[in-house]
């Protein structure tokens, strides 16, 4: 089977497991009260889409550790997607994002459910926050009931605390550094902790821990996973400003309106002349940006060569990840799958 076919087959299995789990939980919520229907709908939307990359990295961490295919392991890996769904809900709340996958984000969609309240917008935000919180709880529940032996689960359980700590640290650093002077090193630290680790490295380590992977295999996971995770987020930053909104499903100007600490902005600022910096100061952090304003920022970025530099950073990191993978002496099937996932994660348009 081709690399793409391998991932597609695994994605179908993960989708099936998630759908069954979410529908069972949805039925139990609706049994409490039918008024929870709008909340249930957002839970379904949050879990019903995605590339399932985090589940794939977790699964192939297991296989790289020498273990065979297992339906129970697919279930354990699918729990990573519930972590991601929760992170997306919370990230959209923090960023006040209006769109995700071309649809209103949870805090906007849920306004209809509280339209009769005086403070409908804050109430909808509160509901969205609770949706994200429940998804985190579901992730732990799905993982611990996946069907793998308790001894296997106990090896991986401490890593969940590391994942949560570092993910929250990354989100907090992004908030703390939003609006600060652009700094490439600071931006890359946010990238590493907010996205890179929980997208690639932590799922690999959790899968490897479940498998009882040797120390050299676990080291290879970090050597491969960290640069690849950074490349994934750097691609996301480029798509966020230069991608087609019809494909990305996001508003193009979000990072500029929020003045988020991205490497793209840091490189732009470093190479910009004084007149270009004045123009950026006038535009960054404004919530009333027009399409023309966003075009002005893009023009400055292109003149400074920042998108090309970020593209180089992506290529450098993918190269480092694949080099580490080539030296790791993992099972051939796992090496092929992880090679394909490196391309899937970074050669994308959404």
Return the higher-pLDDT residue of 248 and 203.
203
**What are the pLDDT digits (tens) for 23-74?**
999 999 999 999 999 999 999 999 998 999 999 999 999 999 999 999 999 9
Query: What is the distance between the alpha carbons of residues 24 and 47, in angstroms, rounded to a whole number?
Result: 13
| Residue corresponding to tokens 């992170």 | 87
Residue 329: exposed, middle, or buried by beta-carbon count in 10 A (0-12, 13-18, 19+)? Answer: exposed
Confidence category of residue 251, pLDDT binned at 50, 70, 90? low
Q: 69: helix, coil or strand?
A: coil
Q: What are phi and psi of 197, to 5 degrees?
A: -70, -45
Report how far Cα 40 is from the mean position of its chain's Cα atoms: 22
Query: What is the distance between the alpha carbons of residues 299 and 60, in angstroms, rounded to a whole number?
Result: 41
Q: 305: helix, coil or strand?
A: coil
Contacts of 197 (CB under 8 A, 6+ apart): 163, 166, 167, 170, 225, 226, 229
* pLDDT the model gives residue 1: 62
Going along the chain from its start, the domains and CATH numbers come out as 3-346 (1.10.600.10)
In sequence order, the β-bridge partners of residue 100 are 103
**What are the pLDDT digits (tens) for 219-237?**
999 999 999 999 999 999 9
Taking residues 202-212, report their average pLDDT. Answer: 98
Report how far apart, in Å, the C-alpha atoms of 176 and of each of 34, 270, 349 are.
40, 21, 29
- DSSP for 331-350, please give it: -HHHHHHHHHHHHHHHS---
* pLDDT the model gives residue 249: 65
pTM above 0.75, yes or no: yes
């Amino acid at each position: 089977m081709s690399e793409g076919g391998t991932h597609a087959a695994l994605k179908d299995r993960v989708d099936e497991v998630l759908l069954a789990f979410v529908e069972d939980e949805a039925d139990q919520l609706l049994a409490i009260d039918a008024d929870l229907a709008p909340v249930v709908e957002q839970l379904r939307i949050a879990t019903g889409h995605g590339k399932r990359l985090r589940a794939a990295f977790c699964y192939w961490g297991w296989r790289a550790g020498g273990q065979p295919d297992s339906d129970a392991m697919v279930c354990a890996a699918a729990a990573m997607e519930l972590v991601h769904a929760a992170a997306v809900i919370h990230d959209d709340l923090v960023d006040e994002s209006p769109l995700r996958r071309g649809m209103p984000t949870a805090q906007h969609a849920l306004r209809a459910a509280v339209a009769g309240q005086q403070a409908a917008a804050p109430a909808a935000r509160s509901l969205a926050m609770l949706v994200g919180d429940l998804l985190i709880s579901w992730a732990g529940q799905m993982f611990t009931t996946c069907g793998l032996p308790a001894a296997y689960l106990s090896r991986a359980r401490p890593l969940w605390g590391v994942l949560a700590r570092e993910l929250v640290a990354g989100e907090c650093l992004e908030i703390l550094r939003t609006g600060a002077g652009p700094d490439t090193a600071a931006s890359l630290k946010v990238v590493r902790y907010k996205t890179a680790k929980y997208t690639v490295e932590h799922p690999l380590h959790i899968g490897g821990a479940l498998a009882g992977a040797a120390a050299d295999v676990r080291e290879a996971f970090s050597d491969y996973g960290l640069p690849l995770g950074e490349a994934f987020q750097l691609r996301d930053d480029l798509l966020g400003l230069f991608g087609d909104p019809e494909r990305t499903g996001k508003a193009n100007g979000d990072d500029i309106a929020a003045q988020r600490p991205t490497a793209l902005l840091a490189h732009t600022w470093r190479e910009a002349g004084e007149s270009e910096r004045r123009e950026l100061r006038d535009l960054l952090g404004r919530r009333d940006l027009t399409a023309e304003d966003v075009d002005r920022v893009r023009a400055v970025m292109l003149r400074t060569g920042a998108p090309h530099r970020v593209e180089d950073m992506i290529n450098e990191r993918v190269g480092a990840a694949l080099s580490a993978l080539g030296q790791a002496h993992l099972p051939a099937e796992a090496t092929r799958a992880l090679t394909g996932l490196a391309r899937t994660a970074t050669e994308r348009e959404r």
